[in-house]
Amino acid sequence: MAGYILKNSIRMFLLIIAVSIAAFLLMTYSPIDPLQTNVGQTALGIMSQEQIEKLETYWGSTLPPLTRYIQWAKDFFSGDMGISLLYRQPVSDIISQRLSNSIWILSAAWILSGVFGIILGMLAGIKEGTLLDHIIKSTAILFSSTPIFWFALLMLMLFSVWLKWFPIGLSVPIGVTAENVTITDRIYHGILPSFVLSIAAMPNIILHTREKMITVLESDYVLFAKAMGKSNQQIFIQHGMRNVLLPAITLQCASISEIFGGSILAEQVFSYPGLGQMAVTAGLGGDMPLLMAIVVITACFVCAGNLLADVLHHIIDPRMRFGKGNKI
């Protein structure tokens, strides 16, 4: 077991390194020169000579790209993520602040979409072919075909412009410094983004859980349970739920990537100052140091989710826990 986790952790670590190399190379070959963009030049003014030199070695010099990557990686993983060209602040400061803004709308969306997605999917699967099933299924398909940002726009229009229940943008009221933001403010501003994100992440889990529930209910072991005289309720609790929850939880762990992706759009629409909005700003402004940091942090979360999915599956499923070897 420990060996399995270790093996997979190493694999994930290598994957993160590979992602960072690829992202670095892509940015190196970008026609946008971070040192030449306007914002970059104003930023250069406040940087120390040493910082500018570093920036030049990473992004501007004629050294082979891989050598430059190694220099960047050395600094990055020792904690020096560089200075953001747009914000003229250390990247690590910006990331930690933005991540703390984002993390709770991400986790709220992750938990909400997981809980309600699994419940609705199970319900639709149990009631297969009924009106309820049709409603759940078609709504899920409708939402999976809806661009998140458009849905976010509609919600913004409905709740913020017409009903005026929620603010139109920014996670902090204007005129209040970041330190003075109360927890209620933060929750208040985060409700709509996390709602939109969880709705956007739900169709996938609903449709998968529904399919799985149907297969389980048509399985031989449920048939045998019926032959044993078990009631539908007993069958659901003893067999249905367990067999559906296992793949659903695994899927939900692997869906972290989707939620991070969706947060880019949702945060942009609600002008919520999180990691996702930062990615857009950094990308548009050619702020390489910042974008690289976002890429690596996001890759870490995604890989951790996948790792968790693998490990959980390994722990819960007896077919994985006890191999097929010892038959009698």
Partner 1 sequence: MKKRMLYIVLFLILIMIIGYFCNEGAVDTDFAHKNIGPSFYYPFGTDWMGRNLFFRTLRGLSISLFIGIIASSISAFIALFIGMTAVFGGKKADAIVTWMIDFMMGLPHLLLLIVLSMAVGRELKGVILSIALTHWTSFARLIRSELFQLKEKNYIKIAEKLGKGKVYIFQKHMLVHLLPQFIVGWVLLFPHAILHESSMTFLGFGLSSEQPAIGILLSESMQYLVTGRWWPAVFPGLFLVIIVLLLYCLGKDLQKYISQK
Partner 2 sequence: MILDMKQITISVNNTILVEDFFLQIASGELVALVGASGSGKSILAHSIMGIAPKNVVCQGEIRYQGEPLTKEKKRDVLGKEIVLVPQNISYLDPLMKVGRQVAKGKKDKISMEKVTKLFQKYNMHSSVMQRYPHMLSGGMARRVFIASALMEQPRLVIADEPTPGLHKEMAQMVVSHFREMAQMGAGVLMITHDLELAMDCADKIIVLYGGKIMEQTNAKSFQSENTLYHPYTKALWKAMPQNGFHTTSVTHPSKTGCPFLKGCTKSKKECMKNIIPYFQKENSIIRCIDAGGKEICF
Residues that bind partner 1 (CB under 8 A): 15-16, 18-19, 22-23, 26-27, 29-32, 141-142, 144-150, 153-154, 156-157, 161-162, 168, 257-258, 260-262, 264-265, 268-269, 279-280, 283-284, 286, 291, 294-295, 298-299, 302-303, 306
Decide: helix, strand or coil at residue 257: helix
Binding status of residue 131 toward partner 2 by CB under 8 A: no
Location of structure tokens 């250069």 = 44
Provide the CA 31 distance to its chain's centre, in angstroms.
29
Selection from partner 2, partner 1, none that 104 binds (CB < 5 to 8 A by kind) is: none
Question: Please, which of residues 224-253 interact with partner 2 by CB under 8 A?
Answer: 224-230, 234, 238-239, 242-243, 246
Burial classification of residue 10, based on how many CB atoms lie within 10 Å of its CB (0-12 exposed, 13-18 middle, 19 or more buried) = exposed
Contact between 223 and partner 2 (CB under 8 A)?
yes
Q: Which of 174/228 has CB closer to partner 2?
A: 228
- Specify the amino acid at residue 176: V
Toward partner 1, which CB reaches closer, 24 or 87?
A: 24
CB of 155 to partner 1, least distance (A): 11
Taking the least distance from each CB to partner 2, the nearer of 96 and 231 is 231
The span of 36-44, 62-70, 217-225, 277-285 binding partner 2 (CB under 8 A) equals: 217-225
Residue 245 or residue 300: which is nearer to partner 2 going by CB? 245
221 lines the binding site for partner 2 (CB under 8 A): yes
Yes or no: say if 212 and 247 are a contact pair by the CB < 8 Å rule: yes
Whole-number minimum distance, CB 251 to partner 2, in Å?
Answer: 17
Kindly state the helix (H) or strand (E) to which residue 1 belongs, with its residue range.
none
DSSP annotation of 84: -
Nearest-angstrom CA–CA distance, 166 and 191: 8
Put residue 24 in one of left, alpha, beta given phi > 0 → left and psi -120 to 50 → alpha.
Answer: alpha
Query: Any idea what the Cα angle at residue 197 is, between residues 316 and 305, rounded to 5°?
Result: 30
Q: Which does 97 bind (CB under 5 to 8 A by kind): partner 1, partner 2, none?
A: none
**Selected range binding partner 2 among 80-88, 98-106, 150-158, 318-326, rule: CB under 8 A:** 318-326
Least distance CB 224 / partner 2 (angstroms) = 4
1 contributes a contact to partner 2 by CB under 8 A: no
Q: Output 164 or 319, the one with its CB closest to partner 2.
A: 319
Can residue 164 be called a binding residue for partner 2 (CB under 8 A)?
no
b/e sequence 287-308, b meaning 16+ C-beta within 10 Å? bbbbbbbbbbbbbebbbebbbb
Nearest residue (CB) to partner 1, 64 versus 318: 64
| Alpha helix (H) residue ranges in the chain | 2-28, 38-46, 49-55, 65-77, 91-126, 131-144, 148-155, 183-217, 220-227, 232-235, 241-254, 256-269, 275-285, 288-316, 318-321
Q: Counting contacts by CB under 8 A, is residue 89 touching partner 2?
A: no
- In the complex, least distance from residue 58 CB atom to partner 1, rounded to whole angstroms: 14
Give the residues across from 90 on adjacent strands: 83
Binding site for partner 2 (CB under 8 A): 218-221, 223-230, 234, 238-239, 242-243, 246, 317-319, 322, 324, 326-328
